[in-house]
Structure 1
C-alpha cells in the first residue's frame, strides 16, 4: 500500500496464513534489526506494545540467538497500574518476552508508583530520553477504533501526543475507550524508529487499516498520524 496524502509514509505489507507464521517471521525481522544495531553501535533499543496479539511474537523473539545483554527493551504504552496487575504491559513483557535468551535484556518501565499520571509521565520521559535514541525497533499494535500506542480517539491529550513537534517523550492520556489512565510514547519517539512495524491480526483490523490508508473523513483516526509521519516505510505484518 502507498500513502495517499503528502508526507505520509509508504507501507510494506507482509501477510501470513496464521498468527504462528507471522510471529516467527516478525521475530526474525526484529532480531535481525537488533543484531544489526548491535553490530554497528554495540547496543540496541526496542519498544513493544501490549495486548493479546503480541504474545506469540514475544515468545518467538525471546528465543532468538542475539546478544540480548546489549538490548534495552521498553514499552510503547502502559496503563497506570503496577507490574503485578493483570492488565499491566510490564507484566505482559515480563511473562512472554523477557524470558529464555531475552531474559538478559535490560528493561525500562514506564509506570512508577509516585505521583499522578502526569508526574509519572515526566519521570518516564526522562528515563526514555536517557536511552540510546532513536529506537532501533518499535512494534505497534492497533485497535478496531484505529488507536495505536495509547493514541485513543477523543483522548484528553491526543492533539499533544500526536504532535510531530512534541517535546516530551512520554505523556499521560485518558480516553473513554482506554480504561485506566495511560502513559504513551509520543509521536516523535515512535516515527523516528529505524524499523517501525504495525502488527495486526484479524479481518476487522485489516479493514480498519485500509480505511486509515485511504482518503476522506473516515480515514482520520489516530493510527493515521503514524502512517503520515513515519520516517521510514511502516512494515505491516498481518494474519487472519
Structure 2
C-alpha cells in the first residue's frame, strides 16, 4: 500500500487522470487493450470529466463498473447513468462500456448474466474504489447477509448480488477476490471523516466489520490518495 497526501481533491483528480492514462496506455501497448473499472457516487464526477478529455486511444479501452444498484440505467441512482453522463463523452466516447445491470427483476437473478457480460475482460488494469462511512467498499456491505460470501477467499465468482440493510436497492458488485486481482487499485479519500474511517480500517482485526480493511491489508498495488 502506498499512501500519498494531497492539498485538496483537485490535486487527487489531476494525479488520478495522469496515472490512469499512463496505466491504460501501457496496457494498450502491451496487450492491445486497456481496462478501467470505476465506482459511482459524487466524488468521481470531476475525475470522469477530466478523464473524458485525456488523449489516448480510447477505442482500445474497455470501461466497466466496480458495482451498481440494480436499477434502470436512466435512474438517478444508477452508476451506469453517472458514467454515461460524465465519462463516456469527448475523447472517451470512443471507449467500450460494459454495464452490469440487466433486464432481470432482481440482482440475484441477473448476477450470472452480468458475469457473462464481463467474461472477455481477463485483466483489470486500473480500478477506482470508493469507501462508505461504515467501511463498505464496492457493494460489499458489513450489514448484508452476503458479506461472508463476497469476501470468502475460496469464492471464484467475479460478481455477486448483495442486499444491504443500511442502503436502498439490491446491488451487483465485484467480489473481494476480483478487486484484489486488479493490477492497480486506487482509493481516493477526501475529508477528515473518510480519512478517519480509513485509519480505523487499517488496524481492524475482523475485516468483515469494514470490508475496505481487507483491500487495505491485502492489495500490494493499492494507492491511497488522501486530502483532509
Place the TM-score, normalised by the shorter chain, in its bin. over 0.9
After superposition, the CA RMSD in angstroms is: 1.5
Residue of structure 2 equivalent to 1:111: 101
Return the offset for 1:229.
2.8
Return the offset for 1:21.
1.6
- Which of the numbers 140, 149, 156 marks the counterpart of 1:160? 149
1:33 aligns with 2:23: yes
Q: How many correspondences in the alignment?
A: 228
Residue of structure 2 equivalent to 1:8: none
- Which of the numbers 19, 23, 44 marks the counterpart of 2:13? 23
In structure 2, C-alpha distance between the alignment counterparts of 1:156 and 1:139, rounded to whole Å: 25
1:206 aligns with 2:199: no
Matches within 5 A, 1:33-72: 33-72=23-62
* SS at 2:199 equivalent: helix
Where in structure 1 are there 5+ consecutive unaligned residues? 1-10
Residue of structure 1 equivalent to 2:225: 237
Q: In the superposition, relative to structure 1, how do residues 148 and 215 fare at CA in structure 2: closer, same or farther (>3 Å)?
A: closer
Return the offset for 1:147.
0.6
In structure 1, C-alpha distance between the alignment counterparts of 2:27 and 2:53, rounded to whole Å: 18
**Does the aligned pair in 2 maintain the 1:154–1:175 contact within 8 Å?**
yes
In structure 2, C-alpha distance between the alignment counterparts of 1:192 and 1:216, rounded to whole Å: 22
In structure 2, C-alpha distance between the alignment counterparts of 1:161 and 1:54, rounded to whole Å: 24
In structure 1, C-alpha distance between the alignment counterparts of 2:207 and 2:140, rounded to whole Å: 16
Q: In the superposition, relative to structure 1, how do residues 159 and 25 fare at CA in structure 2: closer, same or farther (>3 Å)?
A: same
Using the TM superposition, name which of 209-218 and 34-43 deviates more. 209-218
Structure 2-normalised TM-score? 0.95
In structure 2, C-alpha distance between the alignment counterparts of 1:52 and 1:115, rounded to whole Å: 26
Residue of structure 2 equivalent to 1:122: 112
Q: In the superposition, relative to structure 1, how do residues 28 and 158 fare at CA in structure 2: closer, same or farther (>3 Å)?
A: same
Matches within 5 A, 1:47-196: 47-131=37-121, 133-196=122-185
Where in structure 2 are there 5+ consecutive unaligned residues? none
Structure 1-normalised TM-score? 0.91
**Does the aligned pair in 1 maintain the 2:183–2:221 contact within 8 Å?**
no
Return the offset for 1:217.
5.7
